[in-house]
Structure 1
């Protein structure tokens, strides 16, 4: 089970957190973590949003669990669709970091009427600098540490525990192969030319110092999406909800509150 203070539920093939009121008058917020992330990435966001009265769901994204031939970003978007349908949700607010943002975008392109709004942070889908997932040298701890540190502005966030997790992944052949397949799929499944067809309100929260999806990526998302607003967080890398959770959560809550006040959300 992921390391999270919340109850992790299991239903069929899905493992997820579900916090906040079920009778909220706005669509639930679905949090989608990145390729090397897990539910613990969202701990403070789950707490902040559910305490404000939003229902928050965070599924484990099965990056390493799908059959190798079905390991791609579109397959993960289909997984999220199955999760949402299984929980009998109608509209949702999809919130994704990195690969999670890319999954949210593919989902929104296919099911736009079911997406009330998007919150994207460090999303792939236009381009991203590689972490070297296709060339990681087995058991080379310093190489892996350097790649892990690229995720953050402050390298202190690349803890020994996180480096150990990365080391375990690259030394596990089935997981390493799936990681490579997802990375290649993310490069292939660009959405740049389709972004103009996504009308839903979209909040872009970006680290000013993101070297994986640099600021120009955020600006292109903003310029191409018809209803997108961009906020940069200074001294912040690729994972704002981890590195600056208070700012990330406050921006997200302000976005949700404003949409709710304007009654942009259909009643459930």
Structure 2
């Protein structure tokens, strides 16, 4: 996807395809490449897929919180000149997407969340993290997936480097506290945007009960399950994820133009 990586103004992002804008938000440790499968599939089906690089580790510490990231996404959508978008987020990205939808509902045509934080307080990792302990980081990274082999050495090395970087560690803990502070339970029943919830049945980070709670609280939501799947469904089962999302987009009449 590197060839689709762009810089415009203060924003860096991947952009591929033409048509209805689908803005995709990555999680705390998630790279833009986590969504390669989504980008490749929907960019050939009448969607322009845009994955902004969220300033999780580069923003001022006072702005390292869910609310500020939601505003960043709104500013990005405005900068790109989009009227309304399909907003998709995984993990912390799902939480940011939810908070953005609460604050700026006029910008969101449809919402998609997978393995999202926002309800479950240990979603950010309750024993996070032990610096310098590679085996601990490895086991945490493997826990994200149903199939631990998806946690490649490259991915584990990246997470290990992040938690051994003092500034990144402080910001990670700041974000974790912010995620707990910005619990969405009271907000969700007032949010009427059409919402697609796609969840791994074997998610250890945000367990299946979290998906059921989102489904119960969000008035216009549809819940899909993926079997033998952990916290990052779009990485672990990209074909099934895309099929379910496509089905929902068709069912809810988000026909590309």
Q: Same fold (TM over 0.5)?
A: yes
Maintained 8 Å contact 1:131/1:147: no
Higher deviation after alignment, 250-259 or 59-68: 250-259
Distance 1:67 1:29 in 2: 27
**Length, aligned pairs only:** 257
Matches within 5 A, 1:218-229: 218-229=211-222
User: Does the CA contact (< 8 Å) of 2:125 and 2:205 recur in 1?
Assistant: no
Query: For each residue in 1:234-264, what CA deviation from the matched residue of structure 2 results, as whole angstroms up to 9, or x when unmatched?
Result: 0000000000000001111122223336x7x
Q: 1:19-72: per-residue Cα shift (whole Å, max 9, x none)? A: 111xx3xx4111001111011011010010011111111101111010112111
Residue 202 of structure 1: CA displacement? Answer: 0.7
Whether the 8 Å CA contact 1:133–1:180 is kept in 2: the answer is no
Q: Tell me which residue corresponds to 1:180.
A: 173
Aligned-CA RMSD value: 1.6
Segments of 4+ moved more than 2 angstroms: 128-135, 257-261
Give me the TM-score of the superposition, normalised by structure 2.
Answer: 0.95
Find the aligned partners of 2:127 and 2:69 in 1 and give their Cα distance: 20
**With structure 1 as the length reference, what TM-score do the two structures score?**
0.92
Give the Cα–Cα distance (whole angstroms) in 2 for the partners of residues 119 and 86 of structure 1: 22
8 A contact 1:129–1:211 mirrored in 2 = no
Flag structure 2 segments of 5+ consecutive residues without an equivalent: none
Aligned mate of 2:10, from 3, 10, 13: 13
Match of 2:81, SS state, is coil
Find out whether 1:157 has 2:150 as its counterpart.
Answer: yes
- The answer to whether the 8 Å contact 2:123/2:206 transfers is no
**3-state SS in 2 of match to 1:119:** strand
Relative to 1, partners in 2 of residues 1:8 and 1:133: Cα closer, same or farther, differing over 3 Å?
farther
5 Å-filtered alignment, 1:86-105, equals: 86-105=79-98
Find the partner of 2:188 among 195, 201, 207.
195
Counterparts of 1:167 and 1:5, CA distance in 2: 23
Q: State the match for 2:104 in structure 1.
A: 111
User: What's the counterpart of residue 114 of structure 2?
Assistant: 121
**Partner SS for 2:252:** helix
Distance in 1 between residues matched to 2:135 and 2:83, nearest whole Å = 46
Gaps of 5+ in 1: none
Deviation at 1:98, TM superposition (A): 0.5
Q: Distance in 2 between matches of 1:67 and 1:185?
A: 14
In structure 1, C-alpha distance between the alignment counterparts of 2:93 and 2:121, rounded to whole Å = 14
The alpha-carbon distance between structure 1 residues 135 and 126, as it changes in their structure 2 partners (threshold 3 A), is: closer
